[in-house]
Structure 1
Amino acid sequence: MGTHQNGPSGASPSGAAKPRVTVTVIGFDGSPPGPAARRALEQATLVVGNIRHLDALPVPESARRIYMGGLGPALTRLALHDGSAVVVASGDPGYFGVVRALREQGLRVRTVPAVSSIATAFGRIGLAWEDALVVAVDPPADGTDGTSREPSKVRTGGRAAKDGGFTAGHGASLRAAANLCRAYPKVAVLTGEGAGPRELAAELLGPDKSGPARTLVVAQRLGEPEESVEWLSLDEAAERHIWGDPCVVLCLDEAQVLAPGAAGGLPVPLAGWSGPGGGWAAPDNAFVYRSGRVLAAEARALVLARLAPRPGTLVWDVGAGSGSVGIECARLGAAVVAVERDPDSCERIDLNATMHQVRLRVVRGQAPEALLDLPQPDAVFLGGGGADVVRAAVGRDPRIVVAAMTAIDRVAEIKGALRGEGGSGGSRRRVDGALIQSSRLVSLPGDAHRFAAQDPVFVLWSERS
Structure 2
Amino acid sequence: MQKWLSVVGIGEDGVLGLNQVARSLVEQAEVLVGGDRHLNMLPKSDLREKLIWGSPLNDTIEEIISHRGQSLCVLASGDPMCFGIGVTLLRRIPIAEMTIIPSPSSFSLACARLGWSLTEVETLSLTGRDPSLLHPVIYPGAHLLILSEGRKTPAIVAQMLVQRGFGNSQITVLERMGGTHERIVKGIAASWNISELADLNTIAVECIADSSVVLLKRTPGLPDTAYHHDGQLTKHEVRAVTLAALAPIPGQLLWDVGAGCGSISIEWMRSDYRCRAIAIEQNPSRLRYITDNAAALGTPNLCIISGEAPAALQDLEPPDAIFIGGGATADGIFDICWHSLKSGGRFVANAVTVESEQKLLQWHNQVGGTLTRIAIQRAEPVGKFLGWKAMAPVTQWVVVK
TM-score, normalised to structure 2's length?
0.52
Letter in 2 for 1:42: E
Task: Say if 1:68 and 1:227 are closer, same or farther in 2 by CA, change over 3 A.
Answer: farther
| Cα contact 2:78–2:102 (8 A) shared by 1 | yes
2:167–2:190 Cα contact (<8 Å) kept: no
Q: What is the RMSD computed on CA atoms of the aligned residues?
A: 4.8
For the residues of structure 1 that align with 2:238 and 2:115, how far apart are their CA atoms?
46
Could you tell me which residue of structure 1 aligns to residue 116 of structure 2?
A: 127
**Deviations, residues 185-214 of structure 1 (Å, cap 9, x unaligned):** 1111112259722222222222xx844532
Aligned ranges 1:81-120 → 2 under 5 Å? 81=67, 82-106=69-93, 108-120=97-109
Which amino acid in structure 1 is aligned with residue 25 of structure 2? A
Match of 2:374 in 1: 436
Note the alpha carbon deviations across 1:387-417, whole angstroms, 9 max, x for none: xxxx9x96995369xxxxxxxxxxxxxxxxx
8 Å contact kept, 2:140–2:207: no
In terms of fraction of residues, the more helix-rich structure is 2
Question: Does the Cα contact within 8 Å between 1:117 and 1:222 map onto a contact in 2?
Answer: yes
Give the match for residue 206 of structure 2. Answer: 252
Q: Check the 8 A contact 1:437/1:455 in 2, yes or no.
A: no
8 Å CA contact retained: 1:298, 1:436: no
Pick closer, same or farther for the CA change 1:308–1:246 going to 2, 3 Å. Answer: farther
Per-residue CA deviations over 1:72-98 (Å, capped at 9, x if unaligned) read 343232112252111111111112211
Out of 35, 38, 58, the position equivalent to 1:50 is 35
Shift of 1:114: 0.9
* Correspondence for 1:233: 188
Following the alignment from structure 2 to structure 1, what is the Cα–Cα distance between the partners of residues 167 and 247?
23
Cα displacement (A) at 1:303: 6.7
Task: Return the match for 1:187 from 144, 167, 190.
Answer: 144
Q: Any residues of structure 2 matched to 1:363-442 within 5 Å, and which?
A: 397-398=292-293, 434=352, 436-437=374-375
1:137 corresponds to: 126
Q: Match for 1:302: what amino acid?
A: V
- Distance in 1 (CA, whole Å) between partners of 2:271 and 2:152 is 22
Q: Answer whether contact 2:166 2:208 (CA < 8 A) is retained.
A: no
- Identical counterparts, % of pairs: 22
Residue 72 of structure 1 corresponds to 58
CA distance in 1 between counterparts of 2:165 and 2:237 reads: 35
Q: Distance in 2 between matches of 1:398 and 1:271?
A: 15
Deviation at 1:175, TM superposition (A): 0.7
- How far apart, in 2, do the equivalents of 1:194 and 1:231 lie? 14
Give the CA deviation at 1:44.
Answer: 1.2
Cα deviation 1:28-79 (Å, max 9, x = unaligned)? 1234222112211221111122333333345872412233355334323211
Unmatched tracts of structure 1, length 5 or more: 1-17, 141-172, 256-269, 273-279, 282-295, 312-328, 335-390, 401-428, 440-453, 461-465
Matches within 5 A, 1:8-407: 18=1, 22-31=4-13, 32=16, 33-57=18-42, 61-68=46-53, 70=55, 71-81=57-67, 82-106=69-93, 108-139=97-128, 173-182=130-139, 185-192=142-149, 196-206=153-163, 210-237=165-192, 239-241=193-195, 243-253=197-207, 299=238, 301-302=240-241, 397-398=292-293
Task: Please report the TM-score for the alignment, with normalisation by the length of structure 1.
Answer: 0.45
Equivalent residues, number: 260
Do structure 1's residue 458 and structure 2's residue 392 form an aligned pair? yes
Amino acid at match of 2:199: D
Unaligned 5+ residue runs, structure 2?
A: 210-216, 222-234, 251-266, 273-285, 296-324, 328-349, 353-372, 378-387, 395-401
1:204 maps to a residue whose letter is L
Q: Check the 8 A contact 2:147/2:202 in 1, yes or no.
A: yes
